[in-house]
Amino acid sequence: MALDWIPRAPKDMKQVHQICSEERLQRAEPPRTTYELKPLFDPEGKEVKNLYTAWVTLDNEKMGNSYTLDMLAGVACAFDKASHDPSVVAIVLTGKGDRFFCTGGNVKEYAEYYVGRPMSCQEYMTVYWHIFDIVWYSPKPVIRRVQGMSIGGGEEVSGVCDLTVAADTASFGQVGPKHGSTAMGGACQFKSVIMTPEDAIWNTTSCEQWSAYKMLRKNYILKVVPILKKDGEFIRNPEVITDKWLDGGEIAYGEFKSKDQGYGDEEIRAASEMVKKLPRDASLLDKAVNDLTWMYANLYPQQVGLSLGMVRAQKKVAYERTKAEIIWWWAANALPYGEFDMGMSAFNTSKITGTRDADVIKYRQMLAQGHPMGAELYEAVMPKPKQ
Decide if 1 is inside a domain.
no
Report the domain count for the chain.
3
Task: Enter the DSSP assignment of 84.
Answer: T
Using alpha carbons, select from 110, 135, 137 the residue that is nearest to residue 125: 110
Question: Are 174 and 127 spatial neighbours (Cβ–Cβ below 8 Å)?
Answer: no
pLDDT in tens, 277-336: 999 999 999 999 999 999 999 999 999 999 999 999 999 999 999 988 888 888 899 999
Domain, as residue range, for 262: 237-279
Decide if 149 is inside a domain.
yes
- Same domain membership, residue 145 and residue 249: no
328 vs 52: which has the higher pLDDT: 52
Peptide bond into 31 cis (omega under 30): yes
- Same domain membership, residue 359 and residue 219: no
Q: What is the spatial distance between Cα 362 and Cα 380, in angstroms, rounded to a whole number?
A: 8
Q: Which residues contact 92 (CB under 8 A, 6 or more apart)?
A: 53, 54, 55, 56, 142, 143, 144, 145, 289, 293
Decide if 252 is inside a domain.
yes
- Same domain membership, residue 219 and residue 354: no
Average pLDDT over residues 265-287: 97
Using alpha carbons, select from 142, 177, 188, 174 the residue that is nearest to residue 319: 188
The backbone torsions φ and ψ at residue 110, rounded to the nearest 5 degrees and listed phi first, read: -60, -50
Q: What is the spatial distance between Cα 51 and Cα 86, in angstroms, rounded to a whole number?
A: 8
How many other β-carbons are positioned within 10 Å of the β-carbon of residue 6? 6
- Residue 137 vs residues 84, 294, 295, 373: alpha-carbon distances, Å: 11, 21, 21, 43
pLDDT in tens, 70-110: 999 999 999 999 999 999 999 999 999 999 999 999 999 99
- Same domain membership, residue 246 and residue 175: no
Q: What is the spatial distance between Cα 110 and Cα 348, in angstroms, rounded to a whole number?
A: 9
Residue 22: the pLDDT is 83
- Same domain membership, residue 256 and residue 221: no
The backbone torsions φ and ψ at residue 55, rounded to the nearest 5 degrees and listed phi first, read: -100, 120
Indicate if the pLDDT at residue 38 is higher than 70.
yes
Task: Enter the DSSP assignment of 335.
Answer: S
- Same domain membership, residue 353 and residue 263: no
Peptide bond into 372 cis (omega under 30): no
- Same domain membership, residue 170 and residue 300: yes
- Same domain membership, residue 260 and residue 167: no
Q: Give the amino acid at 153.
A: G
Question: Are 152 and 175 spatial neighbours (Cβ–Cβ below 8 Å)?
Answer: yes
- Same domain membership, residue 253 and residue 179: no
Question: Are 94 and 223 spatial neighbours (Cβ–Cβ below 8 Å)?
Answer: no
The backbone torsions φ and ψ at residue 362, rounded to the nearest 5 degrees and listed phi first, read: -65, -40
pLDDT in tens, 149-188: 999 999 999 999 999 999 999 999 999 999 999 999 999 9
Using alpha carbons, select from 257, 233, 253, 256 the residue that is nearest to residue 245: 253
Q: Which residues contact 50 (CB under 8 A, 6 or more apart)?
A: 87
pLDDT in tens, 117-155: 898 898 899 899 999 999 999 999 999 999 999 999 999
Question: Are 77 and 133 spatial neighbours (Cβ–Cβ below 8 Å)?
Answer: no
Average pLDDT over residues 192-219: 97
Average pLDDT over residues 257-271: 94
**Residue 295: CA count within 13 A, CB half-sphere:** 9
Decide if 337 is inside a domain.
no
Q: Are strands 171-173 and 149-151 parallel, antiparallel or unpaired?
A: parallel
Question: Are 150 and 170 spatial neighbours (Cβ–Cβ below 8 Å)?
Answer: yes
Average pLDDT over residues 358-380: 97
- Indicate the length of the chain as a whole number: 387
- Same domain membership, residue 210 and residue 90: yes
- Same domain membership, residue 358 and residue 254: no
Using alpha carbons, select from 218, 214, 190, 216 the residue that is nearest to residue 204: 190
Q: What is the spatial distance between Cα 56 and Cα 36, in angstroms, rounded to a whole number?
A: 7
Decide if 6 is inside a domain.
no
Decide if 60 is inside a domain.
yes
Decide if 215 is inside a domain.
yes
CATH number of 41's domain: 3.90.226.10
Of 219, 247, 279, which residue sits at a domain end? 279
- Same domain membership, residue 122 and residue 220: yes
Burial 311-330 (b: 16+ CB within 10 A, else e): ebeebbebbeeeeeebbeeb
Question: Are 93 and 145 spatial neighbours (Cβ–Cβ below 8 Å)?
Answer: yes
Question: Are 142 and 161 spatial neighbours (Cβ–Cβ below 8 Å)?
Answer: yes
Confidence of residue 2 (pLDDT cuts 50, 70, 90): confident
pTM here is 0.93
Average pLDDT over residues 44-63: 97
Indicate if the pLDDT at residue 15 is higher than 80.
no
Residues paired with residue 37 on neighbouring β-strands, in sequence order: 54
